Chains A and B, each alone.
Chain A
Amino acid sequence: MLRFLIRRALGALVIIVLLIALTYFAFFSLPTDPARLACSKGCTPELLAQIRTNMHLNLPIYQQFWNYFSGLFVGQDFGTAGHCAAPCFGYSYNTQSFVWDRIVANYPATFVLAIGGAAIFLTVGVGLGMIAAWKQGKLADKAATAIGLVGQSTQIYFLGPLAMALFVVNLHWLPQPAYIPWTQDPWGCFTGMILPWTVMSVIFWSNYSRQVRSLMLEQLSEDHIRAARAKGMSNTYVWWRYALRGAMAPIITIFGLDLGAVFSGAIITEVTFGVHGLGYLAVIAVNQADLYLELGVLIFSSVSILLFNIIVDAAYGLLDPRVRIG
């Protein structure tokens, strides 16, 4: 198990290094001009030259890359802006701050969005799947399946504004969605995030309900469950104690992968609702050609996805004794 994890982690490390190099050179081949963007009104050629020097834009590209790459591990000095401690993801010139600080500042919003959204899609998705399995072939089954299907086929940028138009603009039940730190105002955080959570979760429902339904049906037909029933155990008991448990391992796998996706920033949800998380930061970075910020978010997101993949594999091994890895 441990050997397996180490091997996976090493593999992931290689992937990340390749990714950083590839992305760096791709981004810095762009014609965007961070110096001109940082040069405010009344920009003169002299001022522009000074800003270029300050940003080290006149160094050869491989030199810039090396500074960046080594900075990730040992930190980097940004002259008068101060020392950027490892992990140094570079300097966001548009806002005069270190990329890492911006990611850290925006991450709580993504985290809260992911946790709440995941809780909802797991509950609703598994719930729908269980209803469908319980009432197999009946109307409830079809309804649950249909809800999941339509949810999966809809778009966040369609459903989101519809929900806002209804609950915020017309009924005034909820405030304009926004992320308010829960440490500051737990209730405000909840009312501000309930729409983003729910709408984001909709597209995940069907995956879970389908899987749960088929897994439950499969489990219920297995010998040990039949035996349990034959022993006279109650239907409900068998259902919860055996069938659901048996269906858990695959569900946890999917859940882990989905968590990796939402923890790395749900771009469209964050943009639609104006939640200032990682995905929102990425869109700002692209629009403002804040290349180091863009790079930082991309690396951070990729690392968190890889991390979740490894965790999922490990969890799978622990949960399902039939799986022996490494």
Chain B
Amino acid sequence: MTTPTEDTTETDPVLVASATGDGGDKPAALLGRTPRQIAWSRFKRNRTGVVCAFIVIAFILIAILAPVIAGLEGQSPYIPYGLRDPNLLDDFGVPIGANGGMNATHWFGITPTSGFDIFSKLVYGIRTSLGIGLLITIVSSILGIVIGVAQGYLGGRFDYLVGRFSDLLLGLPSQLFYIAFTPVVLNMFVPADRATPVHIRVMAIVIVQAFLGWMATSRLLRGMSLSLREREYIEAAKIAGASSWRIITKELMPNLATTMLVQVTLLLPAMVAAEAGLSFLGVGMVEPTPDWGLMFQDAVHNYQNDLTYLLFPGLSLTIFTVAFSLFGDAVRDALDPKTIR
């Protein structure tokens, strides 16, 4: 992004309450620093934020380096070890050995029934869940930004119609909509008697969730661009003869960057959890794709005999979401010192 010519702190505050109490909002003492530098120094002072940033980065690295990390353990997420070696599971399909069969070979144990390696499934599962969550976030953010800014800037009948349409979508019970429409969307791309490739399945999930994921962003952005539209520098650009497109991309967008960034940090953990929820309910990814939601589904079914299994995806997802929320708060605090808390 281009460096904003205006101080970001001058834009309207984002009216979202924050959970963290700390984070500095002392006025910048030094002259000559760019807003980005100011934000960065504020962020660095927020210890929780920094720790969480490291955790988030660790998750992302694990996702990218999944084959390497699983390679350290030496197991594949696609091989049903328990089916190949009858000594790993008992007669009831429950892993033999303490804590779900944890040992030097299978660090986190194996899954009941099929005997997949939980560690490698978990590591690869981050890839699927985080990847899909990220895709949904990107698509719905882009949708929200484009629609919201267009609404705010163009106004009039377009604004009204799109506004009513987003009301319609906000009125939908979202989870119900996901489970009802994922099969519908899948069916648009794949005939019923053909196997669904993984990428099509991912696409269907992204389409369905992004379809219901853009309204919050667009509302926020609409309001902000409405107020920005009246600012002098936009007026000046208009008088200078700049096109609408140029005004939107060069003048409006950079000023909305902060809001967008904050919005993304709010969306991503929610979308990762939503994807897991879909797979948990049986309308998301399918075996053998390693996926957290599928691990939950399998583990929940077996919780009476093998509770350890449930802890791995459960704690991982909780840690990820907590860290990401705190990280998001820290980012917002750093960028928007006026935030009410």
With A19-B172, A27-B184 known as contacts, the answer to whether A153 contacts B281 (CB < 8 A) is no
Question: Counting CB contacts under 8 A, is B153 at the interface?
Answer: no
Instruction: Give 1 or 0 for each of A5-28: 1 = CB within 8 Å of chain B CB.
Output: 000000110010011000100110
With A268-B280, A298-B173, A301-B176 known as contacts, the answer to whether A29 contacts B187 (CB < 8 A) is yes
Question: Counting CB contacts under 8 A, is A149 at the interface?
Answer: yes
Residue pairs across A and B with Cβ atoms less than 8 A apart, 20 shown, are: A15-B168, A19-B168, A19-B172, A23-B180, A26-B181, A31-B192, A148-B19, A155-B277, A165-B303, A213-B17, A214-B341, A218-B340, A265-B176, A267-B176, A272-B300, A283-B179, A286-B179, A298-B177, A305-B173, A309-B171
Q: Which residues of the partner chain A approach B168 to less than 8 Å between Cβ atoms?
A: 15, 18-19
Q: Is the CB of A305 within 8 A of B171?
A: yes
Q: Which residues 275-290 in B have Cβ within 8 Å of A in the complex?
A: 276-277, 280-283
Question: Counting CB contacts under 8 A, is B243 at the interface?
Answer: no
With A15-B171, A19-B168, A165-B303 known as contacts, the answer to whether A153 contacts B177 (CB < 8 A) is no
What's the Cα separation between A148 and B273 when bound, in Å?
17
Instruction: Give 1 or 0 for each of B166-196: 1 = CB within 8 Å of chain A CB.
Output: 0110011101110111011001100110000
What's the Cα separation between A144 and B192 when bound, in Å?
51
Q: Which residues of the partner chain A approach B20 to less than 8 Å between Cβ atoms?
A: 145
Q: How close is B24's CB to chain A, nearest CB, in angstroms? A: 15
Closest to A145 in B: B19
Closest to B186 in A: A30
Q: Which of A15, A149, A218 contacts B325 (CB 8 A)?
A: A149
Q: Is the CB of B183 within 8 A of A158?
A: no
Instruction: Give 1 or 0 for each of B303-325: 1 = CB within 8 Å of chain A CB.
Output: 11001001001100110011001
Q: Which residues of the partner chain B approach A31 to less than 8 Å between Cβ atoms?
A: 187, 191-192
What's the Cα separation between A169 and B164 when bound, in Å?
49
Please give me the 9 A-B residue pairs with the lowest Cβ-Cβ distance, nearest first: A153-B321, A158-B314, A31-B192, A161-B303, A301-B173, A153-B322, A214-B17, A264-B173, A15-B168
Q: Is the CB of A268 within 8 A of B277?
A: yes
User: Interface of chain A, helix or strand or loop or mixed?
Assistant: helix
Q: Which residues of the partner chain B approach A294 to less than 8 Å between Cβ atoms?
A: 180
Q: How close is A145's CB to chain B, nearest CB, in angstroms? A: 5
What's the Cα separation between A184 and B318 when bound, in Å?
38
Question: Counting CB contacts under 8 A, is B326 at the interface?
Answer: yes
Q: Which of A137, A282, A287 contacts B282 (CB 8 A)?
A: A287
With A153-B269, A272-B300 known as contacts, the answer to whether A26 contacts B184 (CB < 8 A) is yes
What's the Cα separation between A265 and B175 when bound, in Å?
9
With A157-B296, A264-B176 known as contacts, the answer to whether A142 contacts B322 (CB < 8 A) is no
Q: Which residues of the partner chain B approach A233 to less than 8 Å between Cβ atoms?
A: none
Q: Which residues of the partner chain A approach B183 to less than 8 Å between Cβ atoms?
A: 30, 286
Q: Which residues of the partner chain A approach B340 to less than 8 Å between Cβ atoms?
A: 214, 218
Q: Which residues of the partner chain A approach B187 to less than 8 Å between Cβ atoms?
A: 29-31
Question: Counting CB contacts under 8 A, is A152 at the interface?
Answer: yes
Q: Which residues of the partner chain A approach B197 to less than 8 Å between Cβ atoms?
A: none
Q: Is the CB of A306 within 8 A of B273?
A: no
Q: Which residues of the partner chain B approach A153 to less than 8 Å between Cβ atoms?
A: 269, 318, 321-322, 325
Instruction: Give 1 or 0 for each of A264-305: 1 = CB within 8 Å of chain B CB.
Output: 110110011000000100110011000000100110011001
Closest to A301 in B: B173
With A26-B181, A267-B179, A268-B277 known as contacts, the answer to whether A302 contacts B283 (CB < 8 A) is no
Instruction: Give 1 or 0 for each of A127-168: 1 = CB within 8 Å of chain B CB.
Output: 000000000010001100100111011110110111011000
What's the Cα separation between A206 and B164 when bound, in Å?
30
What's the Cα separation between A227 and B277 when bound, in Å?
50
Q: How close is A198's CB to chain B, nearest CB, in angstroms? A: 17
What's the Cα separation between A152 and B168 when bound, in Å?
26
- Contact surface of A with B, Cβ cutoff 8 Å: 11-12, 15, 18-19, 23, 26-27, 29-31, 137, 141-142, 145, 148-150, 152-155, 157-158, 160-162, 164-165, 169, 206, 210-211, 213-214, 218, 261, 264-265, 267-268, 271-272, 279, 282-283, 286-287, 294, 297-298, 301-302, 305-306, 309
Q: Which residues of the partner chain B approach A29 to less than 8 Å between Cβ atoms?
A: 184, 187-188
Q: Is the CB of A141 within 8 A of B21?
A: yes
Q: Is the CB of A162 within 8 A of B314?
A: yes
Q: Which residues of the partner chain A approach B282 to less than 8 Å between Cβ atoms?
A: 283, 287
Q: Is the CB of A155 within 8 A of B273?
A: yes
Instruction: Give 1 or 0 for each of B241-282: 1 = CB within 8 Å of chain A CB.
Output: 000000000000000000000000000010001001100111
Closest to A169 in B: B304
Closest to A263 in B: B173
Q: Is the CB of A267 within 8 A of B281?
A: yes
What's the Cα separation between A272 and B281 when bound, in Å?
9
Closest to A300 in B: B173
With A162-B310, A261-B173 known as contacts, the answer to whether A145 contacts B325 (CB < 8 A) is no
Q: How close is A281's CB to chain B, nearest CB, in angstroms? A: 10
Q: Which residues of the partner chain B approach A271 to less than 8 Å between Cβ atoms?
A: 281
Q: How close is B83's CB to chain A, nearest CB, in angstroms? A: 25
Q: How close is B331's CB to chain A, nearest CB, in angstroms? A: 16
Q: Which residues of the partner chain A approach B17 to less than 8 Å between Cβ atoms?
A: 210-211, 213-214
What's the Cα separation between A30 and B26 when bound, in Å?
59
Q: Which of A158, A268, A282, A309 contacts B318 (CB 8 A)?
A: A158
What's the Cα separation between A271 and B297 when bound, in Å?
11
Q: Which residues of the partner chain B approach A283 to less than 8 Å between Cβ atoms?
A: 179, 281-282
Q: Is the CB of A298 within 8 A of B171?
A: no
Q: Which of A11, A27, A160, A164 contacts B167 (CB 8 A)?
A: A11
What's the Cα separation between A164 and B310 when bound, in Å?
13
Q: How close is B160's CB to chain A, nearest CB, in angstroms? A: 12
Q: Is the CB of B281 within 8 A of A155?
A: no
